[in-house]
Amino acid sequence: MSATTVQGRDTTATPSRPPAVRHTRGARFLLLFAVFLCAACGLVYELALTALGSYLIGNSVLQTSVVISVMVCAMGLGSLAAKPLRRRAVGAFALVEGVLALVGGLSVLVLYAAFAWLQLYTPAMIVVAVAVGLLIGAEIPLLMTLLQRIRRQEAGSAVADMFAVDYIGALVGGLGFPLWLLPTFGQLKGTLVVGVVNAVAGVIVVVFIFRRQIRRWVRNALLAGVAAVLAVLGTTYVLADDLEMTARQQMYRDPIVHAETTPYQEIVVTRSTAFTGAPDIRLFLNGDLQFSSVDEYRYHESLVHPALAGSRANVLIMGGGDGLALREVLRYDDVQHVTLVELDPAMTRLARDFPPLRDLNDKALDDPRVTVVNADAFNWLRGGVRQRYDAVVIDFPDPDTAALAKLYSVEFYHLLGQVLTPQSRVMVQSGSPFFAPKTYWSIAKTIETAGYSTSQFQVDVPSFGNWGFVLASPGRTTSPPLRLAPNAPRLRYLDQAVLKAASVFPVDRRPQEVRPSTLMDPAVLDYVLDEWENY
């Protein structure tokens, strides 16, 4: 094929083949770098949609399955749709990247707003996942065409080069999202930053590699479009905190006094004096109420004091990063040491430093008897804890995700047995026997399957209704007695008569035929999702 040079620009005699690209090695490197950026951005969008759904809706397994399956299907359709665009691959790729940067960058904000104002998350999520998947799918055939324009090579070799870089980019995006992007920028701002990177990938192709292959006015139009996208993303980034707070406030009845999104959860604290005249401080994790300061003492007295009716020199609290269960434990002068194991360091930091919460827990985390361990409780137990505990208080959130369900499994309670003495007493918050009876009795059966004897009881906490607990002892053949210590501090709600009455379940809340929960068969997750959805 003959080639001529006109005014310093390479052309070919055959119009179907675009002009050759100068500096082939450098151009090839830049294009593969663009592939790397596109792959990293695409995976971050996928992970962001999955994480947001888990925060707002729960059921991380379902959210992950829906997002991945929808996006992968849409990617295939996008690849097919891009086939006619290969003849104008440079402009088409730049356009795709600009639109993807805008849609992907704004995806979290749009879905958060749809959830807050329209109570319409899942349909909106599917639409966004389809749009992002179509655009990601369109990238590959266009990039493959551009790669071949730089240097012709055998198809299998080109595919190998392309996908090697693509998979490396996916690795960087997949690790960068939880380890750097989310902690540094947060979920909303993080996706905006990724949108900017996506737009930059388009600029690399248009300005630095193939600028001679498109007309000047087309190039200028594409660059103007990318500039507009960057302006939108930049403006949204500046306003992101205000936009997020406005949307978040829409979901809560009372004014928000603190909010943050951590790698593990969304933490929100509200404050109101609307009903009682006294401050009502409420803590929400991923939108679920954890306590109201008006009546939290009912819950925490029931959770802690029956567990401390025996020996209590050395106490373990798992969960309970707000410090309220810890406050009750520290009311006993003969407690010598307390280990608090809480996954999220942001939660224990808030309990220690945020004045409303610090006042509510009586500065419990500053007590010299307390050791705080920020770790996953399951892995912490697997790490070979040598300490033995007289009493254990387990205050995990309800098992509505796979990560939480493992903390309600037979395997978890087997691990827990390694840090107990034969006389230890273990208290587990177990959900509501009224709203979720199968979940409650599955937790009790799981504990029994792990080799414990149990006693069950329930209390009423007005802010979130009927709630149940399971008191357990390792290896005993008789149920551990429900009682308070003779020298228990004076309590506002619980006494021996209340505790005895709490052990009587009405007919509609009595034991049901349920499965124990294991790592491979998380029955509690199935039950809690089914029951709360039906309720």
Give the pLDDT score at 274: 63
Question: What is the signed CA dihedral for 151, 154, 158, 160, rounded to 10 degrees?
Answer: -150
Q: Quick check: 5 pLDDT over 50? A: no
Q: Rounded distance, CA 446 to CA 465, Å? A: 24
Q: Which of 146, 198, 141 is nearest to 169 (CA)?
A: 198
Which residues lie across from 12 on neighbouring strands?
Answer: 3
Q: Rounded distance, CA 12 to CA 355, Å? A: 73
Give the pLDDT score at 2: 37
Q: Quick check: 476 pLDDT over 80? A: no
Mean pLDDT computed over 211-234: 86
Q: Which of 374, 371, 352 is nearest to 362 (CA)?
A: 352
Q: Rounded distance, CA 416 to CA 272, Å? A: 39
pLDDT 10s digits, 169-199: 999 999 999 889 988 898 899 999 999 999 9
Q: Quick check: 439 pLDDT over 60? A: yes
Q: Rounded distance, CA 360 to CA 189, Å? A: 32
Is 280 designated active site?
no
Owner of token pair 């228990």: 488
Write out the two tokens for 219: 């190039």
Mean pLDDT computed over 360-388: 95
pLDDT 10s digits, 54-93: 878 776 777 888 999 999 999 999 999 999 988 888 889 9
Based on the number of CB atoms within 10 Å of its own CB, is 254 exposed (0-12), middle (13-18) or buried (19 or more)?
Answer: middle
What DSSP string runs through 181-245? IHHHHHHHHHHHHHHHHHHHHHHIIIIIISGGGS-HHHHHHHHHHHHHHHHHHHHHHHHHHHHHH
Write out the two tokens for 233: 């993303």
Q: Rounded distance, CA 238 to CA 234, Å? A: 6
Structural domains in the chain plus CATH codes? 18-250 (1.20.1250.20), 256-285 (no CATH), 295-534 (3.40.50.150)
Q: Rounded distance, CA 117 to CA 248, Å? A: 9
Helices (H) and strands (E) in the chain, counts: 17, 13
Q: Quick check: 279 pLDDT over 50? A: yes
The residue with greater pLDDT, 121 or 324, is 324
What DSSP string runs through 145-186? HHHHHHS---HHHHHHHHHHHHHHHHHHHHHHIIIIIHHHHH
Mean pLDDT computed over 9-31: 58
Residue 18's pLDDT band (boundaries 50, 70, 90)?
Answer: low
Percent of the chain's residues with pLDDT above 70: 94
**Residues 197, 203, 208, 209, CA torsion sign:** positive
Residue 8's pLDDT band (boundaries 50, 70, 90)?
Answer: very low
Based on the number of CB atoms within 10 Å of its own CB, is 353 exposed (0-12), middle (13-18) or buried (19 or more)?
Answer: exposed
Q: What are phi and psi of 334, to 5 degrees?
A: -85, 0
Global pTM reads: 0.81
Q: Quick check: 7 pLDDT over 60? A: no
Lowest mean pLDDT among 140-154, 356-370, 497-511: 140-154
Q: Rounded distance, CA 256 to CA 259, Å? A: 7
Catalytic option among 280, 390, 395, 400: 395
Mean pLDDT computed over 144-150: 87
Q: Rounded distance, CA 465 to CA 434, Å? A: 9
Mean pLDDT computed over 490-514: 93
